[in-house]
Amino acid sequence: MRASQQLSLVGFLLFFLLPAHLCEICEASNEQQASLAPLMATMIQSRQPSPEADSSILIALELARQYDQKAETAFLNVVKQNILQRETLTSGQLALIILALTAACQTSFVAEYKLVKSLEEKFQKEIDSIDTSGQPLTNYYELGLDVLALCLLNGTYSSSKIAKLFSAEQRMSYISGQFFVDTGALAVLALTCVNRQSPDKIISKNILWLVEKILKEKKQDGTIGDIYSTGEAMQALFVTPEYYKKEAWDCNQTLNTVLSQISQGTFSLPIAAAQVLPALEGKTYLDVTHVSCQSRPGHLNISTPKPTEPTHQSKNISVTYSVVDSINNNINESTIISVPKDSVFLKVMEAAQAQNYSKFWFTIESSEWGAYVTSVHGIQASSKNRTYWELLNNHQPLSQGAGSFVVSDGDNLEVRLSQY
């Protein structure tokens, strides 16, 4: 992990001299609400239960303008059931459940089961792990959720510890030298909540650093990081307009780019739909405590689009597929694979395995984000050693999983053992 330069005192002071602009939250217009229907359908029809997905979906449903009481009730019941296993939940999973229950006006349930107290204990274990080993038990994305939930639900925490936790010196958003926008965005939301309750110059400095890092990840089409981190980045920028100049970000351009991706099936995974929808509604996770607890009028009728028959038979394409151990150099193998057009990365891996099992055999596990690779050639990813199997195309890391990324003719695909 590479360190980012500390903000200079001069730069920090100049920040307070910059003219602030009013918070200009862009959101899907009433005319654009129909374009959000596929996101609602994807979430409501989700059949892959997990604490993260269930909670994220419930939050998104509660923050949306469209209303489906049956779906919200169903997901609320599932989230409540997840509480029964709270001893085995990670701190971030519990924090997300608390945020979801709060959005669903279930703060009495949160209090009855002493969920905030449980989160305080889990969060303290994360801090203890950082103090002893330099790393949290989970990751800094989950720590952002922890702080946000504790702040919104008036939990106990140390502002000075929080300031140190999400600082440039801590480098919490870096893995292998890369800044992760979603992690940085969650930290901004958490720090903003803490700073609103108890203003602190160090926390303001850290927010400024994070906002600048997020804006540096803005692409020409308006996406920030990748398309899947853009929704959370929008949330972070919604709540921090005083930390950047108005011309630094064209909110409407970002909004329109994300909206254009919905019809292309980019957010076909329930968790992806749930994480992008709040921003498209002009909402952030800070709004979970402001949801009206009265029934909302209107019921969204979700219809499933009928599949269309292909107009012609798919032809085959050729790609290069490689497996590389970049840590121990135990394997470096490549082959040419032929697969049908519109195949996903996982199909290429399966074809390579069928071609030469001894070199290319692999294992996967399912998650709310789809299938992820756990081992290749018998080499297991390890949370203890902080190793994982990274997917790349043409030497660039992929933002989609093995079961989602559609390959193209001539692609140079790689599965690489990396360290974070």
pLDDT > 90? residue 282: yes
Q: How many domains does the chain have?
A: 2
Contacts of 153 (CB under 8 A, 6+ apart): 98, 102, 107, 110, 116
Q: Residue 406: pLDDT above 60?
A: yes
Crossing angle between the packed helical segments 115-133 and 140-152, to the nearest 10 degrees: 140
Report the alpha-carbon distance of residue 118 to residue 351 in Å, rounded: 46
**389 assigned ligand-binding residue:** yes
- Which string of DSSP letters, residue by residue, matches 364-393? EEEETTEEEEEEETTEE-BTTTTEEEEEEE
**420 DSSP assignment:** -
Q: 182: annotated binding-site residue?
A: yes
257 and 378 belong to one structural domain: no
Query: Can you tell me the distance from the alpha carbon of 283 to that of 345, in angstroms, rounded to the nearest whole number?
Result: 34
Any known ligand binding at 372? yes
275 carries a ligand binding annotation: yes
Q: Is residue 129 part of a domain?
A: yes
Residues 114 and 169 in one domain: yes
pLDDT in tens, 50-100: 778 899 999 999 999 988 889 999 999 999 998 887 788 899 999 999 999
Q: Which tokens in the block code for residue 275?
A: 């994480």
398 is an annotated ligand-binding site residue = yes
The answer to whether 420 is annotated as binding is yes
| 162-181: burial string, b at 16+ Cβ within 10 Å, e else | bbebbbbebebbbbeeebbb
Q: Are residues 207 and 354 in the same domain?
A: no
**Residue 215 annotated in ligand binding:** no
3-state class of 28 per DSSP? Answer: coil
Residues 286 and 349 in one domain: no
**Residues 285 and 371 occupy one common structural domain:** no
Q: What does pTM read for this prediction? A: 0.74
pLDDT digits 0-9 by tens, 94-139: 999 999 999 999 999 999 999 999 999 999 999 999 999 888 888 8
Last residue of a domain, one of 290, 324, 357: 290
- Taking only the tens place, the pLDDT of each residue in 14-43 is 444 444 445 568 999 999 999 999 999 999
φ, ψ of residue 33 in degrees (nearest 5): -60, -35
Contact 243, 192 (CB under 8 A): no
For the domain that residue 94 is a member of, what is the CATH number?
1.50.10.20
**Closest Cα partner for 62 from 284, 381, 214?**
284
Q: Are 213 and 4 in contact (CB under 8 A)?
A: yes
* Two structure tokens written together for 353: 């395995």
Helix axes 181-197, 201-216, angle to 10 degrees: 150
CATH number for the domain that contains residue 413: 2.170.130.30
Are residues 156 and 235 part of one domain? Answer: yes
How far apart CA 158 and CA 143 sit, in angstroms, is 14
End-to-end CA distance of the chain: 8
300 is a domain residue:
no
Domain check: are 152 and 275 in the same one? yes
406 strand-pairing partners: 344
User: Cα(206)–Cα(167) distance, rounded to whole angstroms?
Assistant: 5
Residues 85 and 199 in one domain: yes
pLDDT in tens, 364-392: 876 666 677 989 999 998 878 889 999 99
Q: Is 5 annotated as a binding residue?
A: no
Domain that holds residue 277: 32-290
Are both 325 and 243 inside the same structural domain? no
